Chains A and B, each alone.
Chain A
Amino acid sequence: QSALTQPASVSGSPGQSITISCTGTSSDVGSYNLVSWYQQHPGKAPKLMIYEGSKRPSGVSNRFSGSKSGNTASLTISGLQAEDEADYYCCSYAGSSVVVFGGGTKLTVL
């Protein structure tokens, strides 16, 4: 069980769109539609932004969207806002009720 691979950092200007990738294997991301994404501001607990690959919890902006292709899941944030600056983590079910997180991506809004 290895951590999912995310880029260490991404950046974008206000109003732009960015995409964060999350690469796993055929044993986790590739086998299940159970990828979730979390936003974490400094000193705060993570917040669920996407579950089951592309579903948004109530209250999460529709600027956040999720998708998957093969062993790679993606989080797209459109219309970037300053408040989106945070760390983002992906998470996938890996079978046998085991869960694995990604290494995290720091989003900087320029």
Chain B
Amino acid sequence: QITLKESGPTLVKPTQTLTLTCTFSGFSLSTSGVGVGWIRQPPGKALEWLALIYWDDDKRYSPSLKSRLTITKDTSKNQVVLTMTNMDPVDTATYYCAHSVESWFDPWGQGTLVTVSS
């Protein structure tokens, strides 16, 4: 059974850097074809894909946010970390991580709400 769980701060101030950790079980990020993605959802709004990291350490980012995002993995700890710099109130959202094969996401973590406010 694959499970994922996001962790990190619930509140960050504008201009700060957000660091989120996705801790997973039930699969290995060293297995060919496997990836972990990050997706966010502002309150009442649509899903937005942020980043993907693959078993071979290939990393992909949303073109619109690429300059602010970094995704890394620690295979030994079964963790994927996403950092987003220069946070703004418009970045307030629920952030999800999800297991990925090809381009789909299944399953997803429960999500973590991050509020950006001074």
Contact = CB atoms under 8 A, between A and B. Distances in A.
Interface string A47-66: 11001100001000000000
A57 B108 CA distance: 14
Per DSSP, are chain B's interface residues mostly helix, strand or loop, or mixed? strand
Interface stretch (A16-24, A67-75, A76-84, A91-99): A91-99
B107 to A, nearest CB: 7
B83 interface: no
B49 A100 contact: yes
Nearest to A45: B108
A103 B44 CA distance: 11
B46 A102 contact: yes
| Contact-residue bracket for chain A | 20 to 34
B60 A96 contact: yes
| Contact-residue bracket for chain B | 20 to 34
Given A1-B63, A96-B60, A97-B52, A46 B104 contact: no
B46 A99 contact: no
A48 B109 CA distance: 12
Contacts of A91: 47, 49, 103-105
Contacts of A93: 102-103
A52 B111 CA distance: 24
Contacts of B37: 99
Interface of A: 1, 3, 32, 34, 36, 38, 45-48, 51-52, 57, 89, 91-93, 96-104
Interface of B: 37, 39, 46-49, 52, 54, 58, 60, 62-64, 96, 102-111
